[in-house]
Amino acid sequence: MPYSKEHKRRTREQILRAASHAFRAEGVGAVAIPKLMGQVGLTHGGFYAHFESKDALVAEACAAAFGEGGENLLTKVAEGAPGDELRAIIRAYLSRSHRDTPEVGCALPSLAAEIAREPAPVRHAFTQAVSGYLQQLGAYMPTSPADADAPDDASHDAIGDDALVLLSGMAGALLLARAVDDPALSDRILRTSRAFYTRTFAEKGGEAEAGKTT
Amino acid sequence: MPYSKEHKRRTREQILRAASHAFRAEGVGAVAIPKLMGQVGLTHGGFYAHFESKDALVAEACAAAFGEGGENLLTKVAEGAPGDELRAIIRAYLSRSHRDTPEVGCALPSLAAEIAREPAPVRHAFTQAVSGYLQQLGAYMPTSPADADAPDDASHDAIGDDALVLLSGMAGALLLARAVDDPALSDRILRTSRAFYTRTFAEKGGEAEAGKTT
DNA sequence: TGTACATCAGTGAACGCGCGTTCACTGATGTAC
DNA sequence: TGTACATCAGTGAACGCGCGTTCACTGATGTAC
**pLDDT tens profile A37-64:** 999 999 999 999 999 999 999 999 999 9
Angstrom distances, CA of residue A159 to CA of A112, A136, A142, A162, B185 = 19, 9, 13, 9, 9
The identity of residue A145, as a single letter, is P
- Shortest alpha-carbon distance between residue B31 and chain A (Å): 12
3-state DSSP assignment of residue B17? helix
The residues near B168 (Cβ < 8 Å, ≥ 6 apart) are A169, A172, A173, A175, A176, A189, A193, B108
Q: Which among A110, A175, A194 is the top mutation candidate for probing chain B, defined by the most B β-carbons within 10 Å of its own β-carbon? A: A175
Q: Which of chain C's bases lie under 7 Å from a protein CB?
A: 6-14, 18-24, 27-31
| pLDDT tens digits for range B93-141 | 999 999 999 999 999 999 999 999 999 999 999 999 999 999 999 999 9
Give distance CA B185 / C1' D20 (Å). Answer: 33
Chain A interface includes B206 (CB < 8 A): no
Chain A interface includes B30 (CB < 8 A): yes
The residues near B49 (Cβ < 8 Å, ≥ 6 apart) are B8
Angstrom distances, CA of residue A69 to CA of A160, B63, B81, B105 = 21, 42, 48, 36
**In order along chain B (214 residues), what is the average pLDDT of each group of 10 residues?**
87 97 98 98 97 98 80 87 95 98 97 97 97 95 60 64 98 98 98 98 61 38
State the SS3 of chain A.
Answer: CCCCHHHHHHHHHHHHHHHHHHHHHHCCCCCCHHHHHHHHCCCHHHHHHCCCCHHHHHHHHHHHHHCCCCCCHHHHHHHCCCCCHHHHHHHHHCCHHHHHCHHHCCHHHHHHHHHCCCCHHHHHHHHHHHHHHHHHHHHCCCCCCCCCCCCCCCCCCCCCHHHHHHHHHHHHHHHHHHHCCCHHHHHHHHHHHHHHHHHHHCCCCCCCCCCCCC
Q: Which among B181, B189, B201 is the top mutation candidate for probing chain A, defined by the most A β-carbons within 10 Å of its own β-carbon? A: B181
Residues in chain A within 8 Å Cβ distance of B130:
176, 179-180
The whole-model pTM stands at 0.91
